[in-house]
A and B are shown apart, each in its own frame.
Chain A
């Protein structure tokens, strides 16, 4: 299952500057594991010590926030885009 991950500018040092990278995995969790395998460093930036997404990291699957879906267990369809977005914006 191939998925595109959109990477915010703050994390592009981990992807040699790329704004999008391809990963594989059936769920968001698997996709993010694969992301860290190919671009080491994502894990500690995205997750806290308990393995939960950090408080101010938002992850979207297509247009929807993970928290409205099945969280990290959300299934991925072929060609889906995952976006990592800093939560602190707006208002």
Chain B
């Protein structure tokens, strides 16, 4: 079965065959995968999806691949955690965390890469490449290994150590570029013209790759009992994830899997040190002006966001907001999520949680709304961000007295010292 009918330019509407192309040849607008939704609607049901695998591939009818075996490490179908303790702290009655930290390489990028490399392999590519802020590098290297493809990933040289090791271990080539992610991205955009036999997942395969993010919306709805939440909070780097989450919910309504997606509001989350979309939102501007990023949230440090314009539009169309939070708030967000819900997120997750708090505080998110926050990367990837920000262990000699001396100000320890039977 062929899901994809063609690629259509979002700007000028020109149509193209579904090959490895990501921008319109005429105006450079992004190419969007289009589906035969009537055929999909006739084929899928809540039951057929429930009978599928416990991965994003349960939604393959709404993914841009034909009937081929996927490049699959088990990405997706991550927990939607009812976050009552965090919700109580923030003043929200119905909060869920979409915990995408538990993907195979620890971030939502496994979703998009599983889709991208499945398509790339189907199109005959032998080399998988990308520009990455780290999470994508991890996912590309791992999935390429799984697929038996070569990988070449390009990263900014200042990346967190864990993200570099978590890429190198899979045996591909890692190229550290002097400069920011935007410099790396531009280099890859130009390299894609010179190396057409390589699948740059977020350049020439981007039209397919980005579709993988829709599965965050699909899972959220299914896990809520095929309901659309009132509000989702999504971190913004390139803006693709937010844009595709909106597309995902819209598609569910289009093919009859949910009744009504029109009430959904979408809000964006950015770090203040790289907040071009939040700045455009605050200024009520249509144009997203590029910035030079300076933030600990390196996975979101895209100063020139490719889909910034569409993310901004999705936020406005749905009546959401866009927060920008300081690095100190990001660290606080990481710790708050960890101590209330037991989920350790990377800096981008800290941005999401801190933004959630800000959007509740400024009244954008109302207390009674059913809110889902997208937490998209694991904390082990960015541990150095927490250096000095979490308490250090209490050092003691290996004796009970030393233990009691150190923890004696705790009631439960003090009680055993004075009265409890030995």
Contact = CB atoms under 8 A, between A and B. Distances in A.
B25 interface: yes
Contacts of B239: 91
B189 interface: yes
Contact of A56 (B11, B194, B206): B11
Nearest to A66: B290
A19 B304 contact: no
A58 interface: yes
Contacts of A88: 22-23, 28-30, 206, 306-307
B301 to A, nearest CB: 11
A16 interface: no
B238 interface: yes
Interface stretch (B37-45, B89-97, B178-186, B248-256): B178-186
Nearest to B200: A89
Interface of A: 6, 8-10, 19, 45, 54-58, 60, 63, 65, 67-68, 83, 85-91
Interface in B175-214: 179, 181-183, 185-186, 188-190, 192-194, 196, 200, 202-203, 206, 210
Contacts of A91: 202, 210, 237-241, 302, 305-307
Nearest to B26: A45
Nearest to A44: B26
User: Which of A55, A83, A87 gathers most chain B CB within 10 Å?
Assistant: A87
B131 interface: yes
B218 interface: no
A77 B395 CA distance: 62
Nearest to A12: B193
Given A56-B27, A63-B183, A87 B306 contact: yes
Interface size class, chain B? 35 or more
Contacts, number: 96
Nearest to A6: B190
Interface centre among A9, A45, A91, by most B CB within 10 Å?
A91
B289 interface: yes
Interface centre among B22, B29, B179, B302 (most CB of A within 10 A): B29
Nearest to A53: B28
Contacts of B289: 67
Given A8-B193, A60-B186, A89 B26 contact: no
Contacts of B27: 45, 54, 56
A87 B27 CA distance: 11
Interface in B142-194: 179, 181-183, 185-186, 188-190, 192-194
Nearest to B300: A91
A65 B304 CA distance: 10
A90 B28 contact: no
